[in-house]
A and B are shown apart, each in its own frame.
Chain A
């Protein structure tokens, strides 16, 4: 008769223990008592060559400010989803990386906390050390929610010898200016003839952002209107069509294969089957070791004003239920130490946002980084809306219409499709303001 009781007690005790253990562990993390001595938690999305470089930089910074717990999450949507959820729950990391273009989707929801500019100034970081346009993209009202870390433009990589033989380089060894779209297309044809290979290679099929990047680089050059606001989208469709036409021509007549995936285009370029490619400067590490005479220039000016699609990694302070002042200060120290030492970060190809670094002689000696530093000044970030930005669904969906134009379909139709999609997206209720139905 006593057996059931004994058994029950045992079960209850076991169950109680099983439930209590994680709860207690959760409590410890929640109140933060266990995390004090372990340093700041830092989330980022740098993998591959960038990640290795960052690890080295973080190790150096740890010697100055104490331990840093670095967490790398998958680039793009997965990263931003996780960061949003952690911040919404008030348990975000002490410091994180955010693309500046994603700020409008984060700031209104209260997912980020402002930096203490006095503390940063005390640590040697002042607003005037940054490009004013870039700095202001990190501000919302009175608050500085993001501190730019770098700009990472979409640029042109090429084989210097081949480009020079085709007469495409200036005496300084960078891509020459083009007077019109025809001039650029003729230049490509010339490059094809003198090099005996496909002049241009570019991969975009089923990629999150590539098609959007080439479109936005060209569209920003037209100076045409592309405004997104709460009342909807104002887009100059003629400007869009002009870019779609140019894209169709650029990927026609053997100038470039229109249907490559990103990896395939990269391998065309690194295997010496194409003389030029458009890509993010973060590919520098990949290309430098395998492409002879690697040259790099800003995205070519073809349609008027110099401009190239770009974005900027920035530091942000995700919202926490109860921020620890010691860790908060360490996060500021980390940012200052990183920016002041960002010559190391430039090795990856990124252009440091902290000007005192790009103005040094050491930076001027970085080859080919010095050749595209001006791309930071013509950086065209995404139009500002809650749904735009690097790795967003918007870039992927917009990319489908652009892809169709590259594949040779009717540019007018592609332009209409793109504008229709953007208008539809702009008409969607803004979920950062709590009205999503």
Chain B
């Protein structure tokens, strides 16, 4: 230890002419690592920083996908138009509603499933596989399967309900059930990922905690409430953040299952961005809506981070 310290520390401590040279050498050493970051840096700038800057510039113009003229600068008028666009607010509301409705079961159900599997259902491997398998399916397959299942007249769901004497709703043709249908399909499809996060977290809780509790006379429910759930607090906040972010950017299953219908009742904000930009050709306007959405997500993320850090300090 001492020998190492003396060799590395000696030049810096030596006064006189040597200081400058060794200082440069040390600078060079400090910067040599930077080269390893360059490839990532280039990709970061090319595919993240530049698109963000370019997209913001687009949002200040009347850029169009098909016009032959160069886009003209229009200032913040796209933003003003977007903020007074009822369809923008309506689709934003759909995104928020979807996020709120889907996040609760996606977190709670995953937790219950993980605890159930971990605490002793027989054939753990089968349940692990069965719960996680849907997550491996491509979204196109999921949408197709659920579209058929929920078909109003011939679908398995309504046929089953009919055999029980219940008249099922028009799952994809009526406004309220349509949003519920998208949520159901999404939960079925993605809950496996959260389940797996919970399960791995459960497996990392030291067994001696349970043993100690058992010695103190705690029953199974007591062990779940007083050991498992508190120990899962960290992973729960991770799952919650990941889930909120992925629910907010909902697009593909809606595009495939309902195309935003019926009557726009399931159109999410990103679907509206796609509709105005790519099918309506108004790139500038759709960029402005994207930036309004980005601002909202940043605000939510900052608020979430503040709350999380405050909780962290308290505990």
Contact = CB atoms under 8 A, between A and B. Distances in A.
Given A84-B281, A400-B261, A437-B78, A264 B151 contact: yes
B214 interface: no
Nearest to B71: A434
A431 B281 CA distance: 6
Given A206-B173, A260-B153, A437-B284, A105 B66 contact: yes
Interface in B254-275: 257-264, 275
B67 interface: yes
Contacts of A260: 151-153
Contacts of A400: 261-264
A41 B281 CA distance: 25
A109 B68 contact: yes
B66 A432 contact: yes
B194 interface: no
Interface stretch (A7-15, A47-55, A153-161): A7-15
> How many residues of A sit at the interface, in one of the four size bands?
35 or more
Nearest to B81: A437
Contacts of B153: 257, 259-260, 264
Given A206-B257, A400-B263, A432 B67 contact: yes
How would you classify the secondary structure of chain B's contact residues: helix, strand, loop or mixed? loop
Nearest to B61: A437
B64 A431 contact: yes
Interface in B271-286: 275, 278-285
Contacts of B63: 436
> How many residues of B sit at the interface, in one of the four size bands?
35 or more
Contacts of B306: none
A432 B262 contact: no
A436 B64 contact: yes
B169 to A, nearest CB: 10
A88 interface: yes
A1 B263 CA distance: 70
A80 B147 CA distance: 25
B64 A432 contact: yes
A434 B261 contact: no
Contacts of A393: 275, 279-280
A223 B287 CA distance: 41
A15 B39 contact: yes
Nearest to B69: A434
Contacts of A263: 148, 151
Contacts of A264: 151-154
A26 B62 CA distance: 29
A396 B266 CA distance: 14
Interface in A390-427: 392-393, 396-397, 399-401, 403-404, 407
B147 A261 contact: yes
A109 B66 contact: yes
Nearest to A397: B264
Given A400-B264, A431-B67, A436-B282, A11 B35 contact: yes
Contact of B62 (A19, A397, A437): A437
A396 B173 CA distance: 14
A434 B154 contact: no
B143 to A, nearest CB: 11
Contacts of A31: none
Contacts of B172: 205-206, 261
Interface in B145-169: 147-148, 151-154
10 contacts: A7-B35, A15-B39, A85-B65, A108-B67, A206-B259, A206-B262, A264-B153, A404-B263, A431-B64, A436-B62
